[in-house]
Amino acid sequence: MTKTAIIAAMPQELQSLVQGWSAHKIKAQNRNVQLWESENCIAACAGIGMISARVAAQTAWQHGNGSVRQFISAGYAGALIPELKVAEIFEPEEIVESVDEQRIKTISGAGVLVTAGAIAGNDFKRGLAVKYLARAVDMEAYAVADVAKIYNVPFRAIKAISDELDFPMPPMGEFVDEFGQFHIPRLLLYAAFRPSVWKPLIDLGRNSAKANIALTAALRRAIVE
């Protein structure tokens, strides 16, 4: 039986979806890959960024012995246009990688998603929006799309907006290590002495929770389509 392979950055993005699925932990290319499996789906996370996403996608492919009917890059994204609000689902028709400006088409959707090499703050977002006429930004989709292209498997991206265009993003990239892992204790220590970031962090947590509900519903629909 072929399966849908869903690739996200962090387990929190998929925790509601994969409840009750069998779980595995796999070491691959210096990454700890968390993998879950159901009757018709494989889901994998290996951390933030394109290297981690590529490792997760490759691991899912190998775990399924190549019996993957489609790859889905899932997770949270930042809005690059004011019309996209928190918890809205964005499915792009094209992914563009911001470093080399390579592009890959998806099998369904509308608009452009930019995969960037860093967590995007306000100025970075506006620059991406102008340069690529893009609607949203993430850090993983292009890598998953490229793995799907290598194996000639259909690809789509399903992203839930967690931060709107003008959201005052704290410097979250400082707490992501070289292996794509996010270190919450370091963030909490940083925030403890900076009251100015308390509200944005609380808001981001609330926004992510709303985005997770929408993302889970969208992924459940995609699995059975």
pLDDT beyond 90 at 1: no
For the whole model, what pTM was predicted? 0.94
The answer to whether residue 122 scores a pLDDT higher than 90 is no
- Confirm if 48 and 139 have CB atoms less than 8 A apart: yes
CB neighbours of residue 185 within 10 Å: 8
From 115, 168, 160, 163, select the one nearest 139 (Cα to Cα).
115
What Cα–Cα distance (Å) separates residue 128 from each residue in 89, 149, 206? 19, 24, 25
- Measured from the Cβ of residue 103, the count of other Cβ atoms closer than 10 Å reads 13
- Position 224 pLDDT exceeds 90: no
Tell me the sheet residues that pair with 157. 73
Q: Which residue has 């690809």 as its token pair?
A: 155
Split at pLDDT 50, 70, 90, the class of 107 is: very high
Question: How many separate domains does the chain show?
Answer: 1
Q: Which domain holds residue 87?
A: 3-224
Domain CATH code at residue 152: 3.40.50.1580
Mean pLDDT estimate for the chain: 95
How far is the C-alpha of 86 from the C-alpha of 81, rounded, in Å? Answer: 12
Q: What is the pLDDT of residue 30?
A: 87
Task: Kindly give, in sequence order, each residue whose CB lies less than 8 Å from that of residue 119, ignoring residues fewer than 6 positions away.
Answer: 139, 169, 172, 173, 176
73 within 8 A of 115, measured Cβ to Cβ: no
pLDDT tens across 155-196, in order? 999 999 999 999 999 889 899 999 888 999 999 999 999 999
Beta carbons within 8 Å of 37's beta carbon, 6+ residues apart: 3, 21, 22, 24, 43, 63
Average pLDDT over residues 70-97: 97
Interatomic CA distance for residues 223 and 140, integer angstroms: 20
Range list of H helices, the chain:
50-63, 122-132, 141-150, 184-192, 198-224
Angle between helices 198-224 and 184-192 (to 10 degrees): 150
What is the average pLDDT across 111-125?
Answer: 91
